[in-house]
Homo-oligomer: A and B are copies of this chain.
Amino acid sequence: MTVIFSKKCEIGLQAVLFLSAQEKGVMCNAGEIADKLDVPKEFVSKILQTLTSSGIIGSKKGNNGGFFLGQPAEQLRLIDIVSAIDGLKIFHKCVLGFAGCNMSAPCPVHDDWGKLRNETYEMLSNSSLADLRNQTINKINNLYKG
What residues make up the interface of A, taking CB atoms closer than 8 Å to B? 1-7, 10-11, 13-14, 17, 38, 78, 86, 89-90, 93-101, 104-109, 112-113, 116, 119-120, 123-124, 127, 132, 135-136, 138-139, 142-146
Question: Do residues B97 and A138 form an inter-chain contact, with CB atoms below 8 A?
Answer: no
Other A-B pairs, 16, CB within 8 Å; known A98-B144, A100-B142, A106-B135: A3-B4, A3-B95, A5-B97, A10-B97, A13-B96, A17-B108, A100-B146, A104-B142, A105-B143, A105-B144, A106-B138, A107-B139, A108-B127, A108-B132, A113-B120, A113-B123
A99 to chain B, nearest CB (A): 5
Question: Do residues B116 and A123 form an inter-chain contact, with CB atoms below 8 A?
Answer: yes
